[in-house]
Chains A and B, each alone.
Chain A
Amino acid sequence: ETGVTQTPRHLVMGMTNKKSLKCEQHLGHNAMYWYKQSAKKPLELMFVYNFKEQTENNSVPSRFSPECPNSSHLFLHLHTLQPEDSALYLCASSRLVGDEQYFGPGTRLTVT
């Protein structure tokens, strides 16, 4: 356990569905991150939040919509996804942006 939890751990959704991924950190950190980990591709940083404010959006399609209501919670809202969006989605947190990151176990997403 790293102090970062993610739910659900597995998710199968159709291309017309809307779903949300949840991340919670119990470490008192101020920065939170979403990553996408696909087979045979490097870990891709999607979004960064620092003190609840989004500071980075790495050209992520609008079908992925992040939300950070407070420093402990981070959501990734999903709608009209494509099969190529199937991947492991990792959440991480750090005390400050640029510090070492603590990762959650990930949500394995399959888009059918």
Chain B
Amino acid sequence: AQSVSQHNHHVILSEAASLELGCNYSYGGTVNLFWYVQYPGQHLQLLLKYFSGDPLVKGIKGFEAEFIKSKFSFNLRKPSVQWSDTAEYFCAADNYGQNFVFGPGTRLSVLP
């Protein structure tokens, strides 16, 4: 069965530190990839998505992710985190509308 894994359960960083959250998927063939974020007390919302084209995708709030097909990875990055980035981050994969699967999530705590 298709699956999505995220490397870290909980990441703690100081403000201005760089962030990289790992995501790997097990789908074969063409896949759509997403990062969603859930800020405390708020709805899940989309950070960025990859469907095709440039494997380096830029999203909102300075986040970016790189699709590396050979590694089945879609890691999320931000050069300098802020306290307001404290949230839970979910990677998700979809095979053109089939088998949509979320990863288990990574909780990010940014210390002021």
Given A42-B104, A42-B105, A48-B100, A100 contacting B49 (CB threshold 8 A): yes
Asked whether A104 lies within 8 Å of B43 as measured between CB atoms, the reply is yes
Interface residues of B (CB under 8 A from A): 32, 34, 36, 43-46, 49, 90, 94, 96-98, 100-105
Given A96-B97, A100-B34, A42 contacting B43 (CB threshold 8 A): no
B residues less than 8 Å from A33 (CB atoms): 100
Query: Which residue of chain B is the closest to A1 with respect to CB atoms?
Result: B43
Complex Cα gap A105–B39 (Å): 12
Asked whether B97 lies within 8 Å of A98 as measured between CB atoms, the reply is yes
**CB of A2 within 8 Å of the partner chain:** yes
Name the distance in Å between A8's Cβ and chain B's nearest Cβ: 16
The majority secondary structure among interface residues of chain B is strand
**CB of A111 within 8 Å of the partner chain:** no
Query: Which residue of chain A is the closest to B42 with respect to CB atoms?
Result: A105
Query: Which residue of chain A is the closest to B48 with respect to CB atoms?
Result: A100
Interface residues of A (CB under 8 A from B): 2, 4, 31, 33, 35, 41-43, 45, 48, 50, 55-56, 90, 92, 96-98, 100-106
Complex Cα gap A26–B34 (Å): 23
Complex Cα gap A67–B103 (Å): 27
Name the distance in Å between A93's Cβ and chain B's nearest Cβ: 12
Determine which residue in A56, A92, A101, A102 has the highest number of CB atoms from chain B within 10 A of its CB, and name it: A101
Query: Which residue of chain B is the closest to A2 with respect to CB atoms?
Result: B43
Listed A/B pairs (14) with beta-carbon separation below 8 Å:
A33-B100, A41-B104, A42-B104, A42-B105, A45-B102, A90-B44, A97-B97, A98-B32, A98-B96, A98-B97, A103-B44, A103-B45, A104-B43, A106-B43
Given A100-B49, A104-B43, A43 contacting B97 (CB threshold 8 A): no
